[in-house]
């Protein structure tokens, strides 16, 4: 058994988690849209628990939107690092990444309304 090797890979994994968390924290600090999405996700998850609605579709949608916003931020940084000059390909890349967030947000909104809408309506009426 190679316990030294597994301790090392666990430490390496933990270090990678630290880098990933630094990426999430940096995006939270630098991207107002990400902050809005985080608090929208917290609200949606809280409502889901409160209304005893199915958690899986809401959690999946929250994770999808937040993940795509992180990828969008990564792509923006990579494009700006490659060149700060205006270029049609830079615009295409950034617009497509922003479009991915928009599409996921639209889908998440539909899922949110269909899963939570009925339960919320009957609580309020
Ligand atoms: N180098 C560039 N060349 C051409 N167009 C660009 C370039 N950089 C940004 N743009 C255009 O400006 C838009 C906004 O880009 P910017 O990098 O400012 O993102 P942002 O406003 O932070 O977007 P988000 O709200 O998604 O974080 C892009 O979607 C793109 O249409």
Tell me the per-residue pLDDT of 20-54, one tens digit each, with 9 for 90 and over: 999 999 999 999 999 999 999 999 999 999 999 99
CB 111 within 8 A of CB 54: no
Q: What is the reported pTM?
A: 0.91
Confidence at residue 42, expressed as pLDDT on a 0 to 100 scale: 98
* Percentage of the chain modeled with pLDDT above 90: 88
Answer yes or no: is the C-beta of 102 below 6 A from any ligand 1 atom. Answer: no
Closest CA to 111 of 58, 65, 64: 58
> Measured from the CB, is residue 33 less than 6 Å from ligand 1?
yes
- For ligand 1, what atom is nearest to the CA of residue 76? 17
ipTM of the complex: 0.91
Diameter of the chain measured on Cα atoms: 63
Smallest CA-to-CA distance from 121 within 57, 71, 58, 51 is with 51
Determine the atom of ligand 1 nearest the C-alpha atom of 33.
25
């Amino acid at each position: 058994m190679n316990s030294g090797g597994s301790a090392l890979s666990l430490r390496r994994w933990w270090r990678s988690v630290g880098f990933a968390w630094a990426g999430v924290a940096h995006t939270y600090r630098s991207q107002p849209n990400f902050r809005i999405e985080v608090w929208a996700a917290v609200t949606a998850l809280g409502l889901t628990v409160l209304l005893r609605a199915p958690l899986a579709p809401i959690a999946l949608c929250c994770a999808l939107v937040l993940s795509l916003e992180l990828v969008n931020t990564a792509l923006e940084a990579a494009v700006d690092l490659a060149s700060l000059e205006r270029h049609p390909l830079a615009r295409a890349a950034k617009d497509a990444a922003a479009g991915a967030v928009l599409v996921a947000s639209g889908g998440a909104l539909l899922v949110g309304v269909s899963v939570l809408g009925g339960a919320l309506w009957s609580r309020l009426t």
